[in-house]
Amino acid sequence: GAVVSQHPSWVICKSGTSVKIECRSLDFQATTMFWYRQFPKQSLMLMATSNEGSKATYEQGVEKDKFLINHASLTLSTLTVTSAHPEDSSFYICSARGLDSNQPQHFGDGTRLSIL
């Protein structure tokens, strides 16, 4: 089945650091990728939707200058958390959808981000 790889799976860094998370579709072309954030014991909250070659669409309340999303190719999207602070600590999950919108999206295994 379709596989989405997310890297790194876990990152710990100091406050003020910028962190980049990669999301790759391994065996299909992902025209649309989604980025979610999940706090402990809570559900997934959609942060933004990115389409290959165009600017990402951010959900209300998500700072686009804080969470930079790049979807430069049909197999790779990146989320950069700029100048991360402890309140940005969370579980970040990406998902990808191919050309056929009737097919479900495929999720990565998530990245646990801890900001000290």
Partner 1 sequence: TQLLEQSPQFLSIQEGENLTVYCNSSSVFSSLQWYRQEPGEGPVLLVTVVTGGEVKKLKRLTFQFGDARKDSSLHITAAQPGDTGLYLCAGEWGGFKTIFGAGTRLFVKA
Q: Count the site residues for partner 1 by CB under 8 A.
A: 24
CA angle 89, 110, 87 (to 5 degrees): 10
Residue selected from 34, 35, 58, 67 as contacting partner 1 according to rule CB under 8 A: 34
Residues 49-68, mask of contacts with partner 1 (x by CB under 8 A): x-------------------
Angstrom distance (rounded) from CA 105 to CA 17: 31
Q: Which is nearer to partner 1, 43 or 54 (CB)?
A: 43
**Interacting span for partner 1 (CB under 8 A) from 13-21, 36-44, 69-77, 78-86:** 36-44
**Token pair in block for residue 67:** 């969470």
| The two structure tokens encoding residue 103 | 């097919």
Burial profile 63-86: b = 16 or more Cβ within 10 angstroms, e = fewer = eeeebbbebeebbbbbbebeebee
Residue among 66 and 112 whose Cβ is closer to partner 1: 112
Positions in 96-115 near partner 1 (CB under 8 A): 97, 101, 104-105, 107-110, 112
- Residue 94: CB partners within 8 Å, gap ≥ 6? 4, 6, 21, 23, 33, 34, 35, 36, 77, 79, 107, 108
Which one of residues 7, 13, 22, 32 is an interface residue with partner 1 (CB under 8 A)? 32
Interacting residues toward partner 1 by CB under 8 A: 4, 6, 32, 34, 36, 41-46, 49, 91, 93, 95, 97, 101, 104-105, 107-110, 112
